Amino acid sequence: MTFEVEKYKIVINEDSEYTSDSNDNVFNYAKEYLTESDYQLPTKYGIRLLENEIEINSVIIGAENGATGLHETSQIIEENRIIICCCDSVFCLALPTLNLNWKTKTDEITSFEILKIDNGYIVHGELEITRIDNNGKIIWQNGGADIFVTPDGTGNFNVEGNTITVTDFEKKTYKWNLDGMATR
């Protein structure tokens, strides 16, 4: 995926085969923010920052538990930072340094997507819907009877106004307000 922010081009690619200190990597990165684990991390994203088509910075990020994929709502690019879901966590990287501002584990398994709201974000995870503030602090988390994925993978998460609507695998629908309280 490629994004343009002011004078920068940001290129994000899955690079799950990346291994620290290996000569066989497709790309080498200036920085690494990889969760230490006894297991191979299921998803790693390489992020490259270019100015006038010249790479000026790069980073690879990775976390544990469930694998994630890049799509329209898996990241938010702001003027001075990137907020991106990767496995069980959300990473916030400063622009243009790509320094790690914060990393928050937002789900026990996988964080699928993130949406901007006033004073923070809502994260759609496999087991939990999580509200975090602009600094990555968890405000609240709510779970359901089953995973927050529908069998056909469509139409199961929406934030509209003050209402979050999510459907689980058994097609039970949950509604919460932005304070995490159940609504009808």
**Residue 69 β-bridge partners:** none
pTM above 0.85, yes or no: yes
CA distance 31 to 168: 37
Domains and CATH numbers, the chain: 2-143 (2.40.128.630)
Asked if pLDDT for residue 182 goes beyond 90, the answer is: yes
Lowest mean pLDDT among 35-39, 83-87, 99-103: 35-39
What value does the mean pLDDT of the chain take? 94
Q: Quick one: average pLDDT of 92-116?
A: 97
| 184 has pLDDT over 80 | no
Region 31-43 average pLDDT: 91
d(CA 176, CA 128): 12
User: Exposed, middle or buried by CB within 10 Å (0-12, 13-18, 19+), for 152?
Assistant: exposed
Residues 6+ apart with CB under 8 A from 15: 25, 26, 27, 44, 45, 46, 60
**Can you give the pLDDT at residue 176?**
97
Q: d(Cα 50, Cα 35) in Å, to the nearest integer?
A: 25
Give the β-pairing of 89-94 and 81-86.
antiparallel
Radius of gyration of the chain (CA): 17
